[in-house]
Every structure is written in C-alpha cells, then in structure tokens.
Amino acid sequence: TALYHAKRNGRGRVVVYTQEMEDAAKRDTRIEQALRRAVSAEEVQPYFQPIVDLATRRIVGFEALARWTDRDLGFVSPSVFIPIAEERGIIGALSQLLLRKASRAAQDWPGDLFLSFNLSPSQLVDQNTADHILTTLARASFDPRRLEVEITETGMMSDPASAEKIVQDLRAEGVRISLDDFGTGQSSLGRLREFHFDKLKIDQAFVASILDDRASEHIIRAILAMCEGLDIEVVAEGIETEEQAARLVEFGCRGGQGYLFGRPAAAAATMRHLTTFAKLPAAS
C-alpha cells in the first residue's frame, strides 16, 4: 500500500505515525465507551492472587487484580484498560466498584488474611481518595487494618505532598502502605524514608532474572538489606519456579507472590480454595 511504501522509503514517516496514533486513539475510545458501560453494569471483577510466607508457604493475604471481559471486545488486560480509565476519568468509579467487591469477598475469608489493593497515580492527586476508600470499607464492615494499598513510585512522584496526605489519612485508620513494582520507577531512597512504607514489592523483572543475572541477585540482596534496616516488609513478585523461590528464601526474603503459588482467581474460587486446601492458621 501507499502507506507501507511511505514508511519504507522514510519520507512518509509522519503520515504513518499519525495514522497509527489515530488508530490507537480510536481503539482507546472504543475501550473507554465499553468500560464506562461495564463499570455501570458492575461487570469488572476483582480476581485474587495469593501472597505467601515463603518459608512456610502459608497464604498471608491476596492482591486484588481487575479482570474484565467485554461482550464485544473480549478479554481486555488491566495493563490496557487501567491507563485508559486513568486518562479518561473513569478510574475513581472503577476503583470504588473494585474495592467494594473485593472487600465484600475478603470479608468472608477465614483468618486475618489481608487484602492488597492497587491505587493508580491519578488517585494519589485526588484528595477524595482516602475518604472514598474508608467509606467503602466501612460500608462493607471491612477492618481498615486488613487493607494494604499498593502505590508505585510514579504514583507518589507526580505530587508527593498530595500523595503523602492521602497516605497519612489512610494510615491513621490502620491501612498499610505498600510500594509496588520497586526498582522500575524513578526510585528515590529518600522518599522511601519519608513515606514510611510498611512493605515493598520487588518488581518481577528482578525475580525473573535472579538465577542467571548476577546484577539482579545483587539488587535483590541490597533491597532486602535496606528493608531490614528500615523495618520494611518485602514481597518478591512474579515467582514462577521453585528455584527462584529457593534463592529468595536463601537471601532472607519473607514474602512471595507469583504463579508458583497461585494465579489470580475469582472470588468464589478463592473462597473454595481457602476453605479446602489452604494452609491457614487454626480456623477461627
């Protein structure tokens, strides 16, 4: 086609780029419209992935992960629709729907398992966020001390003062704060200290290369040493093999998450798993 030739001979690059941008914008708008409908119809679901104590393999909590299958678009990944929800002002409604469903599901879990919930960067510049979260928990009679919120370095950097205020309001009610995807953003170790994170999640990229990349090994060990000194808990994300788990235990990492221990599952399947197979502290 003409466009293809334009790209090949280099002269039409701007044309091709514009066309691609237009296609992407159209795609995003389709997703936005379908997502708005899905949110009002409450069709987006939280799935739950176990977080375990690496030494005992006991489940200590679950991370809620958004799942959406649209009747026309099919399955859409959260790494596609969450950024669109953010850009197009749907994230607040979407997040409240997910937290409502997730806290209701978690309410029925045995034991004191925690629920970990992701917050988007734009939610950390919105001063209603803490209030919305706490109100949603109260309505579900969910103890805020069983909630952890995961925020990313990017999330806290766009307006650190605003993010810190929200974090303080949540922490005042007992919510714990977790730093997600650590090592991938513009890390400032100073911020780590200022924010008093309760937990840090080592990004799965480091775990993926732990066995064959000395650099990843050193980075993970340095993170673990630093967190021990700062009294911050650590969870390694994306553990897929026994070899990776063994390595992490050897380095002194306490928490783990990944396909090795369980894939994200729907609320009902999670509940079934907990009441039949899970190694839990004595049933309460």
Comparing CB distances to Mg ion, the nearer of 34 and 163 is 163
Sort residue 258 into left (φ over 0), alpha (ψ -120 to 50) or beta. left
Distance (Å, rounded) from C-alpha 86 to C-alpha 88? 6
Does residue 180 touch ligand C2E according to CB under 6 A? yes
Does residue 173 touch ligand C2E according to CB under 6 A? no
Touching ligand C2E, residues 228-247 (CB under 6 A): 237-240
Comparing CB distances to Mg ion, the nearer of 34 and 84 is 84
Does residue 181 touch Mg ion according to CB under 5 A? yes
Touching Mg ion, residues 114-173 (CB under 5 A): 118, 150
- Pure H helices in the chain: 2-8, 13-40, 78-87, 91-107, 129-139, 153-157, 160-172, 189-195, 204-208, 214-230, 242-250, 267-276
Q: At 256, list the tokens.
A: 């783990």
**Sole window of 25-33, 72-80, 158-166, 167-175 interacting with ligand C2E (rule: CB under 6 A):** 72-80
Rounded least distance, CB 47 to ligand C2E, Å: 7
Rounded least distance, CB 85 to ligand C2E, Å: 8
Does residue 118 touch ligand C2E according to CB under 6 A? yes
Phi, psi torsion values for 105, nearest 5 degrees: -65, -45
Distance (Å, rounded) from C-alpha 8 to C-alpha 4? 6
- Site size for ligand C2E, by CB under 6 A? 25
Beta bridge partners of 47: 65
Does residue 1 touch ligand C2E according to CB under 6 A? no
Cβ distance 102 to 78 under 8 Å?
A: no
Distance (Å, rounded) from C-alpha 221 to C-alpha 252? 8
**Sole window of 20-28, 226-234, 253-261, 266-274 interacting with ligand C2E (rule: CB under 6 A):** 253-261
Touching ligand C2E, residues 74-93 (CB under 6 A): 77-79, 82
Q: Which residues bind Mg ion (CB under 5 A)?
A: 118, 150, 180-181, 237
